[in-house]
Amino acid sequence: MKRITIAKGDGIGPEIMDATLQLLKAAGAELAYDEVKIGEEVYLSGNTSGITKDAWEKIRQNKVFLKAPITTPQGGGYKSLNVTARKSLGLFANVRPCRSYHPYVQSKHPQLDIVVVRENEEDLYAGIEHQQTAEVVQCLKLISRPGCEKIIRYAFEYAVKNNRKKVTCLSKDNIMKQTDGLFHRVFDEISKDYPTIQSEHMIVDIGMAKVADSPEDFDVIVTSNLYGDIVSDVVAQIAGSVGMAGSFNLGEHAVMFEAIHGSAPDIAGKNMANPSALIQAAVLMLCHIGQPKVAEKIQNAWLKTLEDGIHTADIYKEELSSKLASTQEFTESIIMRLGQIPKKLKAVSYENSAPIELKPYHRKEVQKQEKSLKGVDIFVDNMGIKADDLAVELKKMEGDFASLNMITNRGVKVWPNGFEETYCTDHWRCRFLAKNKEQMSKEELIKLLQNAVKEKIDVIKTENLYTFNGETAYSLGQGQ
């Protein structure tokens, strides 16, 4: 008997969780449950994290967590519990297998069979956001080398273990040369360790367009958090419905299984939700905890149900379906088919399925890099000033140790030699470089800021400009 933690969540969560538990029981899964309360009820009781200390304890103790979707209330400082859970438990990999069940579930892409491996802890989802001026807000995009190494190596390991042929990396490194550039570089490095797996990189925009147009050309996709979030929904939707795909979130200490969709408040309580995605998550979980026979039994009965045309509203099509089923009827139909195998859709065999294994990550010995401070970007709040006039003000800060190198507005160079027609907000990046020597000292940096205060220049933040091993490690201005 394996003890796991479950949470019924919000919206359609309780309906699809009850359906899943009913099916697990009927199929003979050897499971004991600790149920925890998370989500809307906890948020609205004044806990902005949406989860109590007791719930954390149960989840950490059992290490396997089956979670129904929850609702994150809008505004009010409520943090997404999904993001919190993934990050707090170190669940760095979000894995979303998706395939088409053509012709029983309508899809324009009968050959679709894709696994999206999405980085789960970093990127714009670090949730570090600030309003900096009246007109400008920012969100910090953080990408780390260990983060890239862990997710990319996992994607290749997954491909090897699951007989996949190719791993495609999606990034936008033509624009974000530091952050996405690092992701792409690490992908190129790690792919060399897996010569039997084909590897390719695509810029995310055209890559995603190709996924939507010809998904049969893709196999495993590895990408960073935001792109992964988007591409996995695209893949699930074009496979048939977001209501069909399960996923797992994996770390060294715990695994969380869930549907990829949300709490669907628009259909909550109507007994019409498709429980398939959570059922798929439960099937993945059964394989992971060493009950592959039960997983196989459920999966084949589920496929047979789809094949027999018993469909919930989201996938119901008059010409393909034989019965429009409620959540409950759909679940009962699967239970009735336990022990049967599909005739036309390919039956599954999980006999050789291994638990979702994870080798502990050991940070590579990083060679010490020669870091040199070349200058500083000082961000300034100033509404309505012209760039040339701002430059006159800023030059008063220079002293004999720094010189103003450029000013950009939203990344576009506006001084020196800017264009009249460039639209400027109140948010200016003012780049100062060390004058007449190789480096700027921290003391000079502070002096520069003191000069700014003296000249009544409203500094809102600074970013140090470094070279690492002599290589420039900051972006130039657009047009510079």
Name the residues that contact ligand NAD, by CB under 6 A: 12, 69-72, 82, 242-243, 258, 261-267, 273-274, 277, 314
**Which residue lies nearer to ligand NAD by CB, 28 or 265?**
265
The CA-to-CA distance between both ends of the chain, in Å, stands at: 64
| Min dist. Cβ of residue 39 to ligand NAD (A) | 8
| Helix (H) / strand (E) containing 5 | strand 2-7
- Nearest distance, CB of residue 239 and ligand NAD, angstroms: 14
Residue among 201 and 261 whose Cβ is closer to ligand NAD: 261
Closer to ligand NAD at the Cβ: 9 or 477?
A: 9
Nearer to ligand NAD, 96 or 261 (CB): 261
Which run of H or E residues covers position 42?
A: helix 40-44
Rounded to the nearest whole angstrom, what is the least distance from the CB of residue 263 to ligand NAD in the complex?
4
CB of 138 to ligand NAD, least distance (A): 23
Per-residue b/e over 50-87, b at no fewer than 16 CB within 10 Å? bbeeebbebbeebbbbbbbbbbbeeeeebeebbbbbbb
Tokens of 129: 């956001």
The rounded distance, in Å, linking the Cα atoms of 245 and 55 is: 26
**Considering beta carbons, is residue 125 or 379 the nearer one to ligand NAD?**
125
DSSP per-residue letters across 67-89: E------SSTTPPPHHHHHHHHT
Residue 272 Cβ vs ligand NAD, minimum distance, rounded to whole Å: 7
**Nearest distance from C-beta of residue 269 to ligand NAD, angstroms:** 12
- Shortest CB 9 distance to ligand NAD, Å: 6
Token look-up 């002293």 returns 399
Least distance in angstroms from the C-beta of 14 to ligand NAD: 12
Give the nearer residue to ligand NAD in terms of CB position, either 12 or 414: 12
Q: In what order do the strands lie in the sheet with 459-468?
A: 412-415, 402-409, 427-434, 371-381, 459-468, 471-472
Secondary structure (DSSP) of 165-212: -EEEEEE-TTT-TTHHHHHHHHHHHHHTT-TTSEEEEEEHHHHHHHHH
DSSP string, 295-352: HHHHHHHHHHHHHTTEE-TTT--TTT-SEE--HHHHHHHHHHTTT---SSSPPP--TT
Closest CB to ligand NAD among residues 275, 477: 275
Residue of this chain nearest to ligand NAD (CB atom) = 262
Report in angstroms how near the CB of residue 283 gets to ligand NAD at its nearest.
Answer: 15
> Residue 273 or residue 448: which is nearer to ligand NAD going by CB?
273
**Residue placing its CB nearer to ligand NAD in the complex, 270 or 454:** 270
What does DSSP assign to residue 127?
A: -
Question: What sign does the CA torsion over 225, 231, 235, 238 have?
Answer: positive
